[in-house]
């Protein structure tokens, strides 16, 4: 995704952490016109990326993750 993820207009954003977009599409069918965007954030791990994207502001989003350290 882009640095301004929370400024973009979207209904569903699927963030593939450590998964290639082309590989994801081989196993999952997406409805509509999915757009592939690459993160330009210089984070080295998931939690750092989340902090940079979401910051401390309380956003009205549902975030689902399999990462055991996610609690933002």
Can you give the pLDDT at residue 71? 65
- pLDDT for 47-64, tens place per residue? 888 888 887 777 788 878
Can you give the pLDDT at residue 48? 86
Reported confidence tier of residue 72, pLDDT bands at 50, 70, 90: low
User: Is residue 2 over pLDDT 50?
Assistant: no
What is the 3-class SS of 11-68, one letter each residue? Answer: CCCCCCCCCCHHHHHHHCCCCCCCCCCCCCCCCCCHHHHHHHHHCCCCCCCCCCCCCC
* All residues at 6 or more sequence positions from 54 whose CB lies less than 8 Å from its CB, including other chains: 6, 72
Please tell me the pTM assigned to this model.
Answer: 0.61
């Amino acid at each position: 995704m882009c640095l301004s993820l929370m400024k973009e207009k979207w209904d569903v954003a699927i963030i593939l952490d450590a998964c290639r977009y082309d590989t994801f599409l081989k196993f999952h069918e997406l409805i509509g016109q999915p757009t592939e965007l690459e993160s330009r954030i210089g984070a080295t791990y998931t939690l750092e990326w989340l902090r940079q994207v979401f910051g401390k502001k309380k956003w009205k989003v549902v975030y689902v993750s399999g990462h055991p350290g996610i609690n933002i």
